[in-house]
Structure 1
């Protein structure tokens, strides 16, 4: 996806309703647009966190005066789960207690907090425990497709969990091939699965912290951005790895890939 189109989608996406509309209008899979939306929300939270914390006393006061977690979330355009965390911490609850409440909200004795927390968790598609769980599942699906593809190609490989079990303590890719395979005329020794859209800024971070080290340790590799990537990445990426998206696997495992492309964290 060229950067101009990516930035158009980035600016246009503000809710999951926008995902459906833009998907139909531009014939772009919902999974790609959902991934871009998720990255936008996370980035917006990072940028606005300081301003939000500065209003902490005011926000807590408004909650004490009757405004709900969800109402405050909408008022300050901040994720409901993080709003509830702010208020509960100010009420004297520890981080450990709050984590327990998120997993077991019906155990909360205070009726108002229980009701509002359940309401918040059910509406937060980005920072709630359920959203985090689905993100993890999404990552596992991408890895499972690669594992299936490698087995179909009769490739001998070790996955990251197995490397850890064998005592590897350094940074490891998702898949290390015991025997390299040729992709686009180049030998590939490892594969890294990213169940997201490859945005240039985030890619630079991954290249520095992961891809470069994998290449130095194991040789050339393949990075898979399942939901596509900015083509500008190809202009500036370093040596030691290739980049692919879902198209690379489509012809070999079409059913798995098509289902994955429609994966949207929304309920």
Structure 2
């Protein structure tokens, strides 16, 4: 799958890709430095500077720290979901007594939007009713509920549905990686091509790595049949690793071993059989900063 009926014979390409992985011990220490109990939103400049200062002696960048924080918050939200839902009646009672969703989030240390959903569940609302109501809060919720929901969204980085800027940055990083592969003379097919092709043949996309390599490529002596670009830090965090492994195993089953390129580096403990971990070290990322 993914290879056209007619294509140029593959060339043998071998390249060395230097990396600077973060030590496992360093990441473990950083976990305690980037998390702020009761805070689930985007941080202000002062808080970001504080994280940067705490990480400085550990040789981790602010970007790595913020990306690690997001991975930890996602894991905390997922693994704490049932514990949170067991408190849904408590949330509802406090909410009806005037406590805000953000106050509940800080008090109990759960994501604001998740708490708001738990409150609606405690009212006896179905999942469908909750979904439809949150899609049109001004029409389907009371004024207080609509206001509380909007405030919760603004302060919730885990459940935030506006991924516009994130998608733009991810696309830019793919351009950066594509430019580097071009300088090496490597032939590839892009995710967009594979998506259209699979949509036509199978009615839906099946496996669409960012780059399907059309040459016999070896990086650091290892065969690489596909490459995925990740515009974040490769944290060795259980939930993030499990999610990534599931996605990569689909590519491995179809094409064999491949590689992930992490924009903000990766932890040395982040290991997935059949996947070579790489970072931005050799890439020209200047366009990522052009506004």
Normalising by the smaller structure, the TM-score range is 0.7 to 0.9
The answer to whether the 8 A contact 1:182-1:188 is kept is: yes
Structure 2 residue aligned with 1:118, among 150, 163, 175?
150
TM-score (norm 2): 0.73
Q: Which has the higher helix share?
A: 1
Change beyond 3 A, Cα 1:147–1:99: farther
Tell me the secondary structure at the aligned position of residue 127 of structure 1.
Answer: coil
Shift of 1:78: 0.8
TM-score (norm 1): 0.79
Q: Which moved more, 1:90-99 or 1:116-125?
A: 90-99
Structure 1 residue aligned with 2:229, among 178, 193, 196?
193
Tell me the secondary structure at the aligned position of residue 67 of structure 1.
Answer: coil
Shift of 1:196: 2.7
Shift of 1:133: 4.6
Tell me the secondary structure at the aligned position of residue 224 of structure 1.
Answer: strand
Give the Cα–Cα distance (whole angstroms) in 2 for the partners of residues 195 and 112 of structure 1: 37
The answer to whether the 8 A contact 1:19-1:33 is kept is: no
Give the Cα–Cα distance (whole angstroms) in 1 for the partners of residues 130 and 175 of structure 2: 33
Q: Which residue of 1 aligns with 2:215?
A: 179
Q: Which residue of 2 aligns with 1:265?
A: none
Structure 2: runs of 5+ lacking an equivalent:
1-21, 37-42
Tell me the secondary structure at the aligned position of residue 80 of structure 2.
Answer: helix
Give the Cα–Cα distance (whole angstroms) in 1 for the partners of residues 29 and 47 of structure 2: 12
Tell me the secondary structure at the aligned position of residue 214 of structure 2.
Answer: strand
The answer to whether the 8 A contact 2:75-2:240 is kept is: no
Change beyond 3 A, Cα 1:206–1:121: closer
Q: Does 1:243 align with 2:286?
A: no
Deviation readout 1:88-107 (Å, 9 max, x if unpaired): 23335444454454454444
Shift of 1:113: 1.0
Structure 1: runs of 5+ lacking an equivalent:
261-267
Q: Which moved more, 1:92-101 or 1:75-84?
A: 92-101
Shift of 1:242: 2.2
Q: Does 1:22 align with 2:51?
A: yes
Give the Cα–Cα distance (whole angstroms) in 2 for the partners of residues 19 and 206 of structure 1: 27
Shift of 1:191: 0.4
Q: Which residue of 2 aligns with 1:223?
A: 260
In the TM superposition, 1:62-211 aligns within 5 A as 62-108=94-140, 110-130=142-162, 132-167=163-198, 170-200=206-236, 201=238, 205=242, 208-211=245-248
Shift of 1:82: 0.7
Tell me the secondary structure at the aligned position of residue 231 of structure 1.
Answer: coil
The answer to whether the 8 A contact 1:81-1:121 is kept is: yes
The answer to whether the 8 A contact 1:22-1:28 is kept is: no
Q: Which moved more, 1:62-71 or 1:137-146?
A: 137-146
Give the Cα–Cα distance (whole angstroms) in 1 for the partners of residues 134 and 171 of structure 2: 23
Change beyond 3 A, Cα 1:190–1:53: same
Q: Which moved more, 1:172-181 or 1:58-67?
A: 172-181
Give the Cα–Cα distance (whole angstroms) in 2 for the partners of residues 36 and 154 of structure 1: 34
